[in-house]
Amino acid sequence: MFDSTEAPIGKDRNFPQIDWTQVTWQQELKHNISTVEQISQYLVLSEKEKANLNKIIEMHPMNIPRYYLSLIDRNDPEDPIRKLCIPEDDELIVAGAMGQTTKDPYGDDKHDKGNGVLHKYSYTALVVATEYCAMYCRHCFRKRMVGLPNEQTVKNFQGAAEYIANHPEISNVVISGGDPFLLPTDVLRKMLDSLKNIDHLKFVRIGSRAPVVFPMRFFEDELIDILAEFNECKSLFVPTHFNHPKEMTATATKAIQRLRNAGITLNNQAVFLRGINDDVDTLVALMHGLLEMGVSPYYLYQCMPVERVRHHFQVPLKEGVDIVDTARQQMDGYAKRFKFIIGHDIGKLEICGQYDNKLILKQLHSRPGHEEETSRILLRELTEKGGWLDDLPEVASF
C-alpha cells in the first residue's frame, strides 16, 4: 500500500487529532472547510492567493472535509491532494492553452428528460440525485452544477422511477449527482425501494467519491444494511473515484471493506489529470493499490474540455497515451483491465493506443439513433497539443 500521509495536518495550526472511524458523518460534515478564512487556519496563503480564491469560490464553491484536508503534505507545493481540493489561480482561466472549453462536455443537456433523468444510452438511465458532494473536486466535469442552484437535480424520485418503469429498454440505472451518499439514509432507502420492483431493471450503480473524500459516511451501520438488503434484490455496484494512491488511506480502505462486506461490487473510475497522476509510477501504484483494496480498475477518463478545468488539468493525448501504455507494461493482468476512455458528446470511446502518429480509438457506446457507430474504429492524426477528439484531424473510421 502507498505510504499515505494520513496524520492530522498542522500541529502548529491546531488541527485536531481525530479517529475518523468514530465521527458521526452528519456532524463531521458541518466542519467542512468552505471559506478563505477557514482554509487560512490550516494553510499559509498570500493576500493575492486569498483574493483569487475568493473570486473562484464565488463561481465554483469550495467544500473540503477535514479528513481530506488532513492528507495534504504542506511541505509540497505540488501536492496532488491539495490540487484536487483547493482552487488554484488557473481556475480563473475559462479556456486557455489546451483549447476551447464548454460547461457541458458530455452532452448531458441534450439527453435531459426532466426531473433529473438523463437518458443518454437506450439501456442506461442516469438520475441526478443531488447537486451536493462531500467535496467539490476542482476537476469535476459537472462543475456547472455541483454546489450550485440548478434545474437538473431530481425533484421527485418516484417520478424518475416511473420513467424507468415505462421504458423497458432500460436495464440499469446510475444514481449520480453530485454525490448520492450525501443524501440522508432514509431518502436513499426510499429511492432504492422505488426501483426494487421494476422487473426489466437488472442492476443499479450509485456513483460516489465519498469513499475517497469522506469515508466516514460508510461507518453508519444503517446505510450498509440498506445497501446489503437492496443487493439481495438487484445487483448493486458502487463506482468509486480514486485518482491518486495518497487517497488510499487506512480509513478509506475500511470504508471500502464495509461496502465489500455488504456484497457490493466496486469499480473505480479515475480521471487522468496533469500534476495528479500523469506519470508512470503514480498510475501503476494507483491501479495496484485499487486491487489491494478489492476495487477493480475500470475506467481512466481523459480529462474533458470543461471550463476552468481543461487548461491546467488536461494532458495532450500524444503524451498521455505514451504514459498510460508505459504504465501498463508494469501492471499485472487485473490492474491493466481498465479502459482509457474519452467520454465524448457522441458516446464513449476507448483509446486503444497509437501507431505511426495515429490515435486508435474504438467506440464503445453510441447515442440513441446512432447505434451503427457502436464498435467502430476511429483513426485520428495525433498533434503535439491535441487533448480531445475534436482537436485531432480525422484519418479514417470503419
Give contact residues for ligand SF4 (rule: CB under 6 A): 133, 136-137, 140, 142, 146, 177-179, 209
Burial pattern 187-220, b for ≥16 Cβ within 10 A else e, equals ebbebbbbbeebeebeebbbbbbbbbbbbbbbbb
Residue 332's Cα: distance from chain center in Å? 24
Q: How many CB atoms lie within 10 A of CB 16?
A: 9
Rounded least distance, CB 244 to ligand SF4, Å: 13
Identity of the residue, 91 or 179, whose beta carbon is nearer to ligand SF4 in the bound complex: 179
Distances in Å between the alpha carbon of 151 and those of 116, 117, 398? Answer: 8, 11, 39
CB of 209 to ligand SF4, least distance (A): 4
How far is 211 from 254, CA to CA, in rounded Å? 9
Radius of gyration of the chain (CA): 21
Q: Smallest distance from the beta carbon of 97 to ligand SF4, in angstroms?
A: 23
Of residues 313 and 366, the one with the C-beta less far from ligand SF4: 313
Is residue 65 within 8 A of residue 28, CB to CB? The reply is yes
Residue type, 170: I
Closer CB to ligand SF4, 133 or 300, in the complex: 133
Hey, is 253 helix, strand or coil?
A: helix
Cell numbers placing 373: 457507430
Which 8-state DSSP code applies to residue 389? G
Residue closer to ligand SF4, measured from CB, 20 or 181: 181
Supply φ then ψ for residue 59, to 5 degrees: -90, -45
- Least distance to ligand SF4 from the beta carbon of 347, Å? 21
Q: Give the nearer residue to ligand SF4 in terms of CB position, either 173 or 378.
A: 173
Whose Cβ is closer to ligand SF4: residue 191's or residue 198's?
Answer: 191
| Minimum CB distance to ligand SF4, residue 368 (Å) | 24
For the bound state, the minimum distance from the C-beta of residue 319 to ligand SF4, rounded and expressed in Å, comes to 23
Q: Which is nearer to ligand SF4, 90 or 179 (CB)?
A: 179
Q: Is the bond preceding 178 in cis, omega lying within 30 degrees of 0?
A: yes
